[in-house]
Amino acid sequence: MIEAVINGFDLEAIATQLIMICVSILIGMIIGAEREYKNKSAGLRTFILVSFGSCIFTILSIRIGINNPDRLAANIITGIGFLGAGVIFKDRTKIEGITTATTIWATASLGMSVGAGYIYLALVGTVIVIVILKLLMPVQKFIDNRHKIREYKIATATIADLDSCIAWFRENHLKILLLNEQKRPEGFSRTWQVRGPLKNHDQLVARLVQDPKIISYQF
């Protein structure tokens, strides 16, 4: 009986699929560990399951979608799109989670590569993802240090006090664009988009903290 059951299975194919699953889990662990280390909204377990699930679905797509094997694969991409959208959220002044969402999307493609039998492609892709997430961070900081864009909302008691802020921007060699102006019973506020080196932003913030005419500010 046992021998008949064993003969009914392609043991070589099963072994290959098990290797694919293990590789997909390893890929998810590598990328997920980097995201977990940075305390992102999607961490180790999420990326393992994304890679593993994509691998399984791709194997099934090839096995059961003989006439149309890309049917399930296309739905994986759609499903990952919804999953990635769930980790994107808008903060007060910026959008967070886009890098994590695109990493989930890329990890799914690596899991699909493993499930399709292109393990070498998945491993190379994993290295590229880690390089982008980890090793390119200094490049991103280099750019931010020389060209940082922030939105400042500054509130004062009078319009004249707000106008004086423009001189501070110029003193710190910052380029500005007025986005919004509001009048309230307690005073006035304006929102500027400000561009310039990070150290110049820090000097501006120090000025805002010390000046008693500034009721509040945020960026």
Boundaries of every domain in the chain: 10-135, 145-218
> Are 106 and 51 contacting, i.e. CB atoms less than 8 angstroms apart?
no
Q: How far is CA 73 from CA 54, 57, 78, 104, 147, in A?
A: 8, 7, 9, 15, 41
Residue that wins the pLDDT comparison between 109 and 140: 109
* 149 pLDDT above the threshold of 80: yes
* 17 pLDDT above the threshold of 90: no
The sign of the torsion formed by the CA atoms of 129, 130, 133, 136 equals negative
The two structure tokens encoding residue 191: 């929102």
Q: Which of 67-81, 141-155, 164-178 has the lowest mean pLDDT?
A: 67-81
pLDDT tens, 68-126?
A: 666 667 777 778 877 777 777 766 556 777 888 888 889 999 999 998 889 999 999 99
Predicted TM-score (pTM) above 0.75: no
Domain 145-218, CATH? 3.30.70.60
Residue closest to 18 by CA, chosen among 114, 109, 112: 114
Rounded Cα distance between 143 and 104, Å, is: 25
